[in-house]
Every structure is written in C-alpha cells, then in structure tokens.
Structure 1
C-alpha cells in the first residue's frame, strides 16, 4: 500500500503500527468510574489518584520527557512506589486503556490484586503473543517475543542488578515496543518487576488482538503506513428507506432545492472500533 494514507478516518491493523490518538479520555475513564479524583495543572497535564492515594496516574502531554502516561502504585501512600508502568506518547491508546481497565478492576478487588507482582507465572503475559504467532526466544539473559512482521516486540529481562533501581533509572524488567525504528514511529511501554502479571497480560492480550482500530489519518505514523493494513472508512450505501426519507424531507422543505442535501447516513465502525474522543488531545 502506498505510504501516503488517505484523508479522514481509517481502520488500521495491526495495532502496533496504528500510533496513538493522543487522547486521554478512554484510558482515564475506567479509573474515574471507580471513584478516582482528577486534577490538572496550568499546562493541561492531568493527574488521577485513588481515594487512599495508593494508585496514581499521570497523563502528561506537557511533561518533561516523551512519556505520556505514568502509573505509580504504592503499598504505603507515603512510601516509594511498589511498582511503576509507563507508556510513551506514540503508544496506541487502546493498550493503555486495556491496562487501566484491569487496574481499575484490581483496585475494586483490593490491595492483594494490585500489589501482588509475581503471583502468576510470566507465561500468562507471554501466551497471548505466542498464540497470535509471535516468535519466542529464551536465553539466560532474557525472554524475547517478536511479532511476525518484526515490527513489535516484548523483552523480559531475567537479570537486573537491583529491582529498586528500576524506579529511578531506565532499567526495566519488562519492555514492550512497536513500530518502525524512528523517533515519531516507534513506541515503548515499560513495567517494573513488581507489576502484577495480570496487568501486563491485559496489555499483551490487546496487543495481540487483530481487530483493526480506528484512526484519523494524521495519527498513523508516516513510516508505519507502508507496513500497516489500512482501510478508509466509507459511508454505507443508502437503503431504499433512506432514499424515501430523504425525498420526503425535500418535498416538505421550504428551502430552495438547489441548496438542499439529503441527510447523511451515520457510519458504523467495524468490530472493536470506537470513534476516538478528541478531548485532552496532545498538542
């Protein structure tokens, strides 16, 4: 497919090539629905906290670096984070939403659910990818899963000098990435050692899902378009009933016919797709 995508709304797959919608609402909604408080600052960064201050999330379009989403979970509200997760600005919004949806459900279940890091084997997070045809390679240093198109991957590092150091530097137990190797095309997500496996699995399940996602054309990274499957969203063909209704509307209007147009027919998104909300857009 040519590298220049058509204008308008598009269905894009696989999801790891779709880019971000730069929209905060979908991923914030699950937490807000469980009573989390929302605050913002003068730069339009948004902060969401659980009532007990044990779970904190930042949506940071004007943050100090390229990380758009930061999640910190605390066993003690006044102590250091128990675990952290981060998603950069190019990460597909649906992956962040999958993560926060299960995080919100875990919060409702209680601390044992959102604090227990290694209570499940790591295969729970890897299996959705391998079942979708990703190649798994194991070594003494790491387990790596790579997408069939070689444009996405997961790395689980087996040996870290100090798990606590993950909270302060760029060393992480889990690394997810996708897209062509370019500053504007490739995205990264990281999870520290104590991140509950079922939360990482929620992200990999969504990453492995082949259902196309909806994007506005400029949101799809230019370098990814040649490798992605892109289908323009086109209006459905009007039914005979639509035509009769349009004709009846024209017959009863007092506006000159030269400037009257038949009412448009709503476009129905494909399976799993939702029209992106344009609020809280990253500039």
Structure 2
C-alpha cells in the first residue's frame, strides 16, 4: 500500500458502497442490493437516489455511479450526476457527503438547496485557477480548465439550459482516452460541483496498492510508502521522474462553496 498524488491519476481504489455513499443507513435511508440488478440507495422521501450499475446489459454502463434528485419522487430526475467505474472513490465520497449535507440542511433552512441553485458557477471553478489550471473560453458557450500536466480537465457549458446535456464534464488521464469521466447535468447545485473540484485538486494523498494505479497513468504519479508518509519524511517521490509533473503547490484542499444565505 502506498500514498498517491495527484488523486485524479490514482485509479478507483475500492468500490466500497458505504464509503462512496456516506448516508445514514442505520437510521432512515434505504440500501437495496439485489443480485441481478443495480445497487440503489435512497433517501426516506425518495427524492434522492444513488445507484451503482454493477449489473447492466447496456454497453459502457457496467460499474457506473449515477445519482439523481427528484423534485417529485415519482417523476423524472430534476438533475443527475454520473461517474465512470474508474472514478477515485474519494471523489464519490466527498460529493455524496456534500449532498447529504444539502439534504439535511433543507428543513432547517426552510429552502430547497437541492433544487434552488443560487451559487454562481465561478464559485466552483475559481479554485482551479488558483492552482494554476489553464483556462480557455469558446464563443460556442463552453469553457475548459486543464491541469498543468494536461492529465485532468473540466468543461463547463456556461450558456446552456439544456437538461439533456451535462453542464459540467470532468475527466482524468489523457483527454482522448480518459481513465474516468464525470458529468453533472443542468440544475445540479453548484455546491456539489465545488465539492468535487475541491476533492479533485486536494493535495491530501490517497491510498492505493500499486496494482490499483492505471497502467497508462502510472508514470505520472508520485508515491510514497505509508510508513514514510506518516513520519513526515521525504516528500512523495515520482515513479518516473522524466515524465512527472509537480503536484499542486498548496498544502490543503480548497473548501467546497457553501450555499448563499
């Protein structure tokens, strides 16, 4: 077991459902794990649902993580988040932790933070600029943010209101053949995108076995044995120095944006 940076190149790690979904299943949230169908978690009101497609006949769907919010629990999704099977588990955990926070805060605030997206998009993507990510804007209505190593990216459709296309798309690895991909549909609260981006650029290492690291990104990661890391000894060392880029320079993750009050 080693500690890895950058996080977006570390691979999925485990697929532990209770880590990906930090919901209070011992209270009132439900968890359904049928043998031949997707695993589904749901809030008591059924307006939030998370699924892991471990069984699927749809091409490319195996292993996907899909989270939906329903203003009407018996109606179609109001917004949806989708992550590919190789998305780092830490990203899933942080997004769903923020989602649970929004859900629990709604009754106290007297507002529907899950459906009233009153935070500006720049509150989600500004930390990328602080970390030195490049920024490109197209007149077609898209803006792109690319990591210094060019091995992670975020696309934002800033001019769309089309609920059939993702407003935010993110990926890790080479853009032409990413190791994982995530999508946030129109209407997804900015706080959830911000939570994801904070996890994406965090300089807290993630733990993996060497075999967990995708072969195509292995030369670009920094790793250190757990014993070395825990004793504040040398910094993470590159696996292949000639191919590596320096990890983000700040020493802590940028916190996720909070809802406007």
Shift of 1:35: 2.8
- Closer/same/farther in 2, CA of residues 236 and 94 from structure 1, 3 Å limit: closer
Query: What is the CA–CA distance in structure 2 between the aligned matches of 1:14 and 1:49, rounded to whole Å?
Result: 32
Per the alignment, residue 102 of structure 2 pairs with 106
Please give the residue correspondences for 1:52-67 in structure 2 after superposition, counting only pairs within 5 Å: 52-63=45-56, 64=58, 65-66=61-62
Q: Normalising by structure 2, what TM-score?
A: 0.78
User: Secondary structure of 1:150's partner?
Assistant: coil
Shift of 1:135: 1.4
| Contact 1:31–1:100 (8 Å) recurs in 2 | no
User: Secondary structure of 2:22's partner?
Assistant: helix
Per the alignment, residue 216 of structure 2 pairs with 223
Q: Which stretches in structure 1 are left out of the alignment for 5+ residues?
A: 1-8, 238-270, 273-283
Per the alignment, residue 87 of structure 1 pairs with 83
User: Secondary structure of 1:62's partner?
Assistant: coil
| Contact 2:67–2:82 (8 Å) recurs in 1 | yes
> Which structure's residues are more often helix, by fraction?
1
Query: What is the CA–CA distance in structure 1 between the aligned matches of 2:97 and 2:26, rounded to whole Å?
Result: 10
- Closer/same/farther in 2, CA of residues 201 and 146 from structure 1, 3 Å limit: same
Shift of 1:138: 2.1
Per the alignment, residue 130 of structure 2 pairs with 131
User: Secondary structure of 1:106's partner?
Assistant: helix
| Contact 1:67–1:87 (8 Å) recurs in 2 | no
Higher relative contact order (CA 8 A, sep 6+): 1
* Superposed CA offset, 1:220-239 (max 9, x none): 101101011122334899xx
Shift of 1:205: 0.5
* Corresponding residue to 1:178 among 162, 172, 176: 172
- Closer/same/farther in 2, CA of residues 67 and 175 from structure 1, 3 Å limit: farther
Please give the residue correspondences for 1:174-253 in structure 2 after superposition, counting only pairs within 5 Å: 174-180=168-174, 186-234=179-227
| Contact 1:145–1:153 (8 Å) recurs in 2 | yes
* Corresponding residue to 1:48 among 38, 41, 47: 41
Shift of 1:207: 0.6
Per the alignment, residue 65 of structure 2 pairs with 69
Query: What is the CA–CA distance in structure 1 between the aligned matches of 2:185 and 2:86, rounded to whole Å?
Result: 20
Aligned pair count? 223
* Superposed CA offset, 1:21-66 (max 9, x none): 2322212123536631111111373210110110010022223314
CA RMSD, aligned part only?
2.4
| Contact 2:21–2:92 (8 Å) recurs in 1 | no
* Superposed CA offset, 1:217-262 (max 9, x none): 211101101011122334899xxxxxxxxxxxxxxxxxxxxxxxxx
Q: Which stretches in structure 2 are left out of the alignment for 5+ residues?
A: 231-250, 253-261
| Contact 1:31–1:104 (8 Å) recurs in 2 | no
